[in-house]
């Protein structure tokens, strides 16, 4: 089976940097995803890691360590619009993804 | 980029009726579509996986006779909630992928179902 853990809530200040961690235990691994979801909306894709290391995309970066079953999403230069839920998802066998419960990030002025 | 259109965005129905939710891939062929359900402040729970032209594979605990999934073409999958009850009220989201994109999960905009 799949088990994914991430913090429930985080708070950060506008302009700051925040790191959202995700740990996983899975029976198969074919990539890790990060999604952003605003209340009442569908998730939107942020990043995908399948090899160890850091993937940078603008203000957002994602890191993966497969041996440790660990990933983080790094958000720089936080903006108020970054307040949302961030979902970590692991794709296992047969293309199915299991999602964590999400981390609700609140950005304060 | 890949776009998935999901309709309706909101629906209110009476207990005992059926509701159909459509999910269309607009600019790619969706070989696989996933249907998720999301409760408030919770993550997405995979309900079923459907491949074009074959029967859907349901996750454990999901009633296949209650949640009918049809994936008749490479661009359309439908989820029908039959004999809806208030406890079926939820946010339903589809996502689609095709074999040519390694991280090709594109989500529909979701459907908020309220059963009264």
For the residues B106-114, what does the mean pLDDT come to? 92
For the residues B51-61, what does the mean pLDDT come to? 87
Beta bridge partners of B93: B36
Q: Round to the nearest angstrom and report the end-to-end CA distance of chain A.
A: 40
Are the C-beta atoms of residues B111 and B9 closer than 8 Å to each other?
yes
B101 falls in which pLDDT band (50, 70, 90)? low
B115 falls in which pLDDT band (50, 70, 90)? very high
DSSP B22-48: EEEESSS--SEEEEEEE-TTS-EEEEE
Q: Does the beta carbon of A5 lie under 8 angstroms from any beta carbon of chain B?
A: no
What does pLDDT average to over chain A? 93
Compute the Cα dihedral for B63, B68, B69, B72 and give only its sign: positive
How far is residue A83 CA from its own chain's centroid?
14
B103 falls in which pLDDT band (50, 70, 90)? low
Asked if A96 and B46 come within 8 Å (Cβ–Cβ), the reply is: yes
A-chain residue closest to B4, CA distance: A42
A-chain residue closest to B48, CA distance: A96
A26 falls in which pLDDT band (50, 70, 90)? confident
DSSP A19-43: EEEEEEE-S--S-EEEEEE-TTS--
Does residue B98 have a pLDDT over 60?
yes
Compute the Cα dihedral for A10, A101, B4, B20 and give only its sign: negative
Contact residues for B40 (Cβ-Cβ < 8 A; gap 6+): none
Does residue A37 have a pLDDT over 60?
yes
- C-alpha distances (whole Å) from A39 to each of A21, A53, A82, B43, B56 are 21, 30, 12, 12, 29
Does residue A83 have a pLDDT over 60?
yes
Q: How do B10-13 and B111-115 pair as beta strands?
A: parallel
Asked if B106 and A41 come within 8 Å (Cβ–Cβ), the reply is: no
What pLDDT, on the 0 to 100 scale, is given for residue B99? 65
A80 falls in which pLDDT band (50, 70, 90)? very high
What pLDDT, on the 0 to 100 scale, is given for residue A1? 63
Instruction: Enter the tokens of residue A107.
Output: 């950005």
Cα–Cα distance for residue pair B1/B3, rounded to 1 Å? 6
B53 falls in which pLDDT band (50, 70, 90)? confident
What pLDDT, on the 0 to 100 scale, is given for residue B38? 92
Asked if B44 and A100 come within 8 Å (Cβ–Cβ), the reply is: no
């Amino acid at each position: 089976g799949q088990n994914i853990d991430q913090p429930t809530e985080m708070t950060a200040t506008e302009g700051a940097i925040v790191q959202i961690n995700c740990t996983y235990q899975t029976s198969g691994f074919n990539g890790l995803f990060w999604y952003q979801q605003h209340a009442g909306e569908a998730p939107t894709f942020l990043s995908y890691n399948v090899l160890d290391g850091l993937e940078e995309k603008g203000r957002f970066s994602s890191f993966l360590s497969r041996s440790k079953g660990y990933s983080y999403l790094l958000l720089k230069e936080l903006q108020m619009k970054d307040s949302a839920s961030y979902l970590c998802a692991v794709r296992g066998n047969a293309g199915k993804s299991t999602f964590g419960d999400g981390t609700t990030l609140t950005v304060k002025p | 980029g890949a776009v998935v259109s999901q309709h309706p965005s909101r629906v209110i129905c009476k207990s005992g009726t059926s509701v159909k939710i459509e999910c269309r891939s607009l600019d790619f062929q969706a070989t696989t579509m996933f249907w998720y359900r999301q409760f408030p402040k919770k993550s997405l729970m995979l309900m079923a996986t459907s491949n074009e032209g074959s029967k859907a594979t349901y996750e454990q605990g999901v009633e296949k006779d209650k949640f009918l999934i049809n994936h008749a073409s490479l661009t359309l999958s439908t989820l029908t909630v039959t004999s809806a009850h208030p406890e079926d009220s939820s946010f339903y989201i589809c996502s689609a992928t095709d074999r040519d994109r390694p991280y090709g999960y594109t989500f529909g905009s979701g459907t908020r179902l309220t059963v009264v």
